[in-house]
Structure 1
Amino acid sequence: MGVVETIKGTWTYIAAIVFIAISGGLCLGDVIDLSGRSVKLPLATFSARAEFTFRYLTLGVLSVLCTIFLVIFQRVTTGTVNPLAGQEDKVQKQANILQNSFEQFIISAFAQLCMVSFIGEKYTLRVIPWVNFCFIIGRFFFVIGYPSKRAFGVFLSLIPNVGMVGVCVYKFVEHLFFDSIDV
């Protein structure tokens, strides 16, 4: 990889971090409210926060469903309806997008459910909608940039997932060994 490609990759990563930092700061600071009418729901229990999370996971499910339709459309338009006919190279791009989107969705869904077991109502209302909107925006940029310009979309999905898992690991260790302070 040349210097130019390295610089472009670095700027893509920086752009994703800036987007996440600004949008996350605005959402966590309660400047932008993505929770909609949900603020009227009491989210004092884990089951209520999990229900809230499942509602926002609708965006991720929609994203995965759209990529499934993308694979179906490619199969129908290229005549590769039979996956055993030896023409999988015609749908490889769409299949790769679907596989990555599904993997990211599973990680995101479980990370969100783990997260709401550790955080309270205030942060659930701010974090969960933001993570799901980052996910759907990230998947959009991943699809339109695939294969060579997918990094921005990958980072928009991956960085919030890594952040949530990091918080969950921290809170889990805190739960095991220290007096837990609820967030």
Structure 2
Amino acid sequence: MKKIAFQLLLLAVVALAGVSCKDDGVYSDLVRDNRPAVPVTYTGATTYGFDPYYEVSTAAGGNIKISISIPASSGRTIKEITRVAAGATSINVATLNTVSTNYIAAPIAGSGTTVDFTTTLKDFATKRPAVAITPVALPNFREIAFMFLVTLDDGSQVVAQPVRIRVLA
């Protein structure tokens, strides 16, 4: 009987401790979205599914143009694209921090709320020879990815979500 009474008392204490915690109305850092104050978007990219993507055809020359923009209502402008990570679709933020993997030799200056990043499949193949870009029979395309570190006019930096390039035959 003493054992049951002790277990009930312990259960009551645990239940009381569970409801007596301070509820600040905010989720912890582990479960909240990590969104930048100034969102970066890709103009003209297809955005359903996972990461936004552009389609590039090898038959049409393989020119890649990624248009990066921020909202005009943000009150900020884009100073430059500071760093670019490029590779297979498994690139991540850590790739931006590695000096030897920076895809660009010098920052790309922005103007206003937009900046364009241009390259070609041929340049990509030269800089990232280990990443396959030749489309396969099924599903008839291959994907590569880019990630950008964008510096705004006030010196703040935003890491944009990855953008994929769907390479078509």
Give the structure with the larger helix fraction: 1
Regarding TM over 0.5, the answer is: no
* TM-score of the pair, normalised by structure 2: 0.25
